[in-house]
Amino acid sequence: MDRDKEGNEVLSDMELARIAIPRRVYTMSHIEYAVDRINWVYEHRDLIKGLRFVYEPPVLRFFLGKLEALDDWGRNLCDAYKKELGSC
């Protein structure tokens, strides 16, 4: 969502992610692997704290803006992945 006229963040009614997969490129095992990794991230969602904008352009802020992690959650997520599944 865009910010309101006062510059405040407006929360979206829904948070969605789109995963686009080109046809005729991947096998079923590729898809199963991707689904397994996405499921793993979902199961460990409590480790993910979020991002904040450090730069917001006036238009297309979600495509052109710069983000940084709120804390060291990326390292924590990677450590959990290594512990359970190997290297990340």
- pTM score: 0.69
Summarised one tens digit per residue, pLDDT across range 39-59 is: 999 999 999 998 999 998 888
- As beta bridge partners, residue 55 has 66
Of 1, 23, 19, the C-alpha closest to 11 is 1
Average pLDDT for residues 4-28, to the nearest whole number?
Answer: 83
Instruction: Render 11-79 in DSSP notation, one character per residue.
Output: --S---------TTT--HHHHHHHHHHHHHHHHTGGG---EEEEE--SS-HHHH-EEEESSSHHHHHHH
